[in-house]
Structure 1
């Protein structure tokens, strides 16, 4: 089941470190099957407040997403971004292709009635 690395990055000042980070990130993702699904996208806010932009990277599974983030190659370039851009990063598992939210609703209803 796919997993995703999601980043909500706040606006920052342009800096050469960010370009260096971008030059090198794909090579850190390749051994783990990582692919950008959303990159540097401005969001259309419908609820709440979301300053900045979003990045979504898909991995074949959560173990490979974790292995990428913890890899020496990624940890080596991570300070290039974190010194220049504030943000939040999470790893999250996806849902199966046949996921049906109504099954989750039924489980929640049953738990609420118990």
Structure 2
């Protein structure tokens, strides 16, 4: 049986390669039917906003990768409510409706449920 993997994405889509690398890893894992989840923390919650304009910063858009997650069998998507609130973001603003919003206490439970955790 494959070990479960939680990928934690903490970087904004415009702050470097971390956001894209996290998504690439999740998509690859999904393509191989690995039990994989994706958690957006800190500035990583900015990845969930629609209509990003990354070309102004010479970055690539991650919106298409996010939209492809269900096609690769990646349906366990989470975001921290505290991080959304601290950045002035509401659930209705998120591009993906399938993201489950977690309270602080549920974050530790989510992490503990997975065999392996990688942070980007």
TM-score, normalized by length of structure 1?
0.27
More strand by share: 1
**Using CA pairs below 8 Å that are at least 6 residues apart, which structure has the higher relative contact order?**
1
Report which of the two structures shows the higher radius of gyration computed on alpha carbons.
1
